[in-house]
Structure 1
Amino acid sequence: MNQISASPVRSPLLKTEDWWAVWLGGLVFLLGLGPLVGTDLLGWAVKTNVWLSASKALVPQSEAYAFLPGWVSLVLTYLFFLVTTTIGASAMGWNIKKFMGGFTVIFALTYGCWFIGSYAHIAATKNALANLNISWSLGLTQEIGFVIAMVVGLLIGNFWLGLAKYLEEAARPEWFIKTGIVILGSALGIKALGSMNLASTVIVRGLCAIVEAYLIYWPVVYFISRKWFKLTPEWSAPLASGISICGVSAAIATGGAIRSRPQVPIILSSVIVVFVAVELLLLPWLAEMLLYKQPLVAGAWMGLAVKSDGGAVASGAITDALITAKAAATMGVKWEPGWMLTTATVTKVFIDIFIGVWAFILAIIWSVYRIDKKDSKEKGDKVSAGEIWERFPKFVIGYAATFFILLLIGLLAPHAIKDATTGANQANGLRGIFFMLTFFSIGLVTNVRKLWAEGMGKIVLVYAVCLFGFILWVGLFISWIFYHGIMPPVVGG
């Protein structure tokens, strides 16, 4: 029997993480629309409160499910994630047994990190101390659970290699974060209904900011790589895209566009992930210190500076929580939460949209000018419109769809906004779990030992010089230009 003909042929719509981010995020979004038809379809999902007593930490999202014990809500949430992600993993041809086992361990460890990070003396902000009847807290907010998850992932990925190998089938940070971003589109739609002027300002300015960043970042990084560090074009172009645009996705797209060897974008992606971990540990707290009076500047900075989808959006979430809490404690201003996260996400999504365009431009340049003389016949191949579509990040379609659907519902049926908000908030709760899984997975796949064994010293040095030498600060300057003086809505204001 012919084994090849017996293998199932999967549709392009079912074989990539990008498309499955759309399907899975879209499912959560559709379930979140339940309140619009008088049905609560997501209220059973678990929510973790800032806690002093562990028995009161876990509760269902909705009061309609208050009869459920917290641990039952957690189990139901785990089963929902396991079943839906396993369906996607099966469609993409992954090892289902390994995926289910690995995902179970990852979910347990990740939620354990979130649970620890929600302990009151760790997470409670100053303005919440009185309600909790405690006198002190580190004030790190619940988002410190993201960082704990990443650190645990790093430890496993670098010191418990057998366990890391077992978990790798289920450690899919790009899939998790893209799914979360699709769901996040509905949150932006709700915010747009509440503050149309501010939402449109964020979108328009975000587009302008990333175009300006492109024009500055990429050529400077490429020049430094070629002239100062003598890297070949094959390394310099994907490196410039990875550092200046969108991390892993841009490095891989650029490598494909210029027909580099497969190992080039893979090695660069590993370096990018390491630096994303460093940025996640540093930038949100630096933004809290420097920019707590300019919150949307801080959000845009996260979107421009952190070079992965997961890292940028997660850093936006941490920055949002830190600055919102600090503003309330030091200035007595209670900003509506989520606008810094939204600004970071919009900036990052616009960057993602341009990956395909940029890859197309580079492919043409490499073809016309034959920049790599070796294998010039292959380098001269033109990139078709179909290839551009393949490189386009499909999850952006899902993000845009959830945004516009919620926006249209609110505009066409203003009486439904309250129910739509309830459902979007419930879906957003599941989005937070996808973010948690992303942090742990980023840590897990970051094998620092392997990077150094492959002789990545020069690449790391180029990345460090460019990132800390000018990209962070140019990004901050551009963010300041476009978002200085723009404030989120004040709660009750």
Structure 2
Amino acid sequence: MNQENTLTRSSLLKTEDWWAVWLGGLVFFLGLGQLFGGDLLGWAVKTNVWLSITNSMAPLSKTYAFLPGWASLLLTFLFFLVTTSIGAACMGWNLKRFVVGFTIIFALAYGSFVLGSYGYLAATKDQYAKLNMNWSVGLTPEGGFIIALIVGLLIGNFWTGLAKFLEEAARPELYIKTGIVILGATLGIKALGSVNLASTVIIRGLCAIVEAYLIYWPVVYFISRKWFKMTPEWAAPLASGISICGVAAAIATGGAIRSRPQIPIILSSVIIVFVAVELLFLPWLAQSILYNQPMVAGSWMGLAVKSDGGAVASGAITEGLIRAKALAVNGVKWEPGWILTVTTVTKVFIDIFIGIWAFILAVVWSVFGINKRSQEKGAKVTKGEIWERFPKFVIGYAATFLILLLIGLAAPHLTKAATAAADQANGLRGIYFTLTFFSIGLITNVRKLWAEGMGRIVTVYAVCLFGFILWVGLLISWIFYHGIMPPIVTG
């Protein structure tokens, strides 16, 4: 019986991990239609930062500009419904309840994301002129994740009957792992862009690996375990989320060590809030102290801000602020794009190793039996056990990254089309992430969350971020990028 169950669980069509690979891979390969002159994903909905609701939605591609936003949204919903329903049927879920539940979850989750993209909540400073506004909370559209989580929590804790009805479609692990598979394509394009950078910038970008994996992670893990008495199930995803790459790293780590699914998402909601806090002050601090060292500032944003979107947004704001101050104070006009490039390269070198780190942790947790009650510490584990523990979605993440990177290296003339393909796939990734946050809120009991020590999570994050992460990141950025300047615009 055990052998039969093992064979069933290992089937390529029976587990959420593998279905994340198939669903994420489908989105990725549809995006690759750009390489052949096709536009197979351009009809999908894109959510804009908006002040007028009529401008909140549009198709991803100008090819489908004739579609109104609501039609693009409808097509996107049908695509998600059909593809996820096929997976649900193969995994033996109640298909009728899944279809109805998914329809409601999609509507509420996407509505939350649209609300989170409202200009006075989401806009960053570099978007003010375009939107004709002069202030915002600055959460970035990722604030929509927090709103989706809150809406899910409200339903899950106050409308328990509705939550019970929706639970068949509340599948956070499937949604987030699919999103991470798609994320690999975006990182592939970023890494491809860095190939053409000066070799000195690329080499110095490697400091991010040393900084993230040899300094931040063990220190955060030690503080969480020894000072705040967190269990390994909480401490490892928290260490990855704070030290590596926010949401994706926390969830990849949670999958690798088999933590309860709500743990990395709870941590991710805290991470997003701190990212918003950093966006409110870090670029202006960088402008004040680093306007004569622009590349140091760009690297610092990549090391300090723990989400891809937040880091890139902070790099864009920092570039605008520093270039303006350097021109006003020193009369020097730096060539645009370089500060943001350093931010992106630094972030890429960190992100690229999420999969590797997840694999390392999967092996360590398996070999030493951490968090596994049925296995005493130090017991031997078979290769099959390690493979069974290995998060399969990481294979998809690595594959989408390598495919786009190799395409760009082998055929540079296809880089522009490959970039468009990754951008389109990334548009759907955001929806998968939103579904994740809503679903985890729906299945979460708030009283149990507080019992686990939410206050400790926030305290650990604040102590680590403001106590040493920001300043160690600044020191390493200074060591590797001090004295390296962008080209000066003449004439």
Q: TM exceeds 0.5?
A: yes
How far the C-alpha of 1:405 sits from its partner, in A, is 1.3
Which residue identity does 1:48 align to in structure 2? T
Measure, in 2, the Cα distance between the counterparts of 1:460 and 1:91: 37
Which residue identity does 1:354 align to in structure 2? W
Which residue identity does 1:51 align to in structure 2? W
- Identify the residue that residue 55 of structure 1 maps to in structure 2: 54
2:280 matches 1:280: no
Contact map agreement 2:194 2:345 (CA 8 A) in 1: no
Which residue identity does 2:71 align to in structure 1? V
Find the residue that maps to 2:430 and give its secondary structure: helix
Contact map agreement 1:317 1:340 (CA 8 A) in 2: no
Measure, in 1, the Cα distance between the counterparts of 2:409 and 2:403: 10
- Identify the residue that residue 239 of structure 2 maps to in structure 1: 244
- Identify the residue that residue 207 of structure 1 maps to in structure 2: 209
- Identify the residue that residue 476 of structure 1 maps to in structure 2: 470
Measure, in 1, the Cα distance between the counterparts of 2:57 and 2:11: 39
2:420 matches 1:425: no
Check 1:143–1:99 CA distance in 2 against 1; reply closer, same or farther (3 A cut): same
Find the residue that maps to 1:50 and give its secondary structure: coil
- Identify the residue that residue 387 of structure 1 maps to in structure 2: 385
Contact map agreement 1:355 1:391 (CA 8 A) in 2: no
Q: What's the TM-score once normalised by structure 1's chain length?
A: 0.76
Find the residue that maps to 2:46 and give its secondary structure: strand
- Identify the residue that residue 111 of structure 1 maps to in structure 2: 110
How far the C-alpha of 1:207 sits from its partner, in A, is 3.2
Trace 1:1-400 onto structure 2 (pairs within 5 A): 9=8, 11-133=10-132, 137-196=136-195, 197=197, 201=203, 204-208=206-210, 209-224=212-227, 236-245=231-240, 247=250, 250=253, 254=257, 265-266=259-260, 270=262, 273-291=265-283, 293=286, 294-303=297-306, 315-322=307-314, 324-325=316-317, 327-328=319-320, 331-332=323-324, 335=337, 347=350, 350-361=353-364, 364-365=367-368, 381-400=379-398
Identity of counterpart residues, as a percentage?
Answer: 47
| Structure 1: runs of 5 or more not aligned | 230-234, 257-264, 304-314
Measure, in 2, the Cα distance between the counterparts of 1:276 and 1:399: 19
How far the C-alpha of 1:349 sits from its partner, in A, is 5.8
Measure, in 2, the Cα distance between the counterparts of 1:322 and 1:273: 23
How far the C-alpha of 1:417 sits from its partner, in A, is 1.7
Identify the match of residue 408 of structure 1 among 406, 409, 414: 406
- Flag as ranges the 4+ runs of structure 1 deviating above 6 A: 336-339, 487-493
Measure, in 1, the Cα distance between the counterparts of 2:424 and 2:374: 53
| Structure 2: runs of 5 or more not aligned | 241-248, 287-296, 325-333
Q: What's the TM-score once normalised by structure 2's chain length?
A: 0.77
Check 1:153–1:100 CA distance in 2 against 1; reply closer, same or farther (3 A cut): same
Measure, in 1, the Cα distance between the counterparts of 2:342 and 2:251: 26
Which residue identity does 1:428 align to in structure 2? N
Taking only aligned residues, the RMSD between alpha carbons, in angstroms, comes to 4.1
Find the residue that maps to 1:13 and give its secondary structure: coil
Residues matched between the structures, number = 451
Check 1:281–1:155 CA distance in 2 against 1; reply closer, same or farther (3 A cut): farther
Contact map agreement 1:210 1:350 (CA 8 A) in 2: no
Measure, in 2, the Cα distance between the counterparts of 1:58 and 1:375: 50
Measure, in 2, the Cα distance between the counterparts of 1:186 and 1:57: 25
Q: Which moved more, 1:10-19 or 1:106-115?
A: 10-19
Find the residue that maps to 2:144 and give its secondary structure: helix
Find the residue that maps to 2:350 and give its secondary structure: helix
Which residue identity does 1:281 align to in structure 2? V
Which residue identity does 1:207 align to in structure 2? I
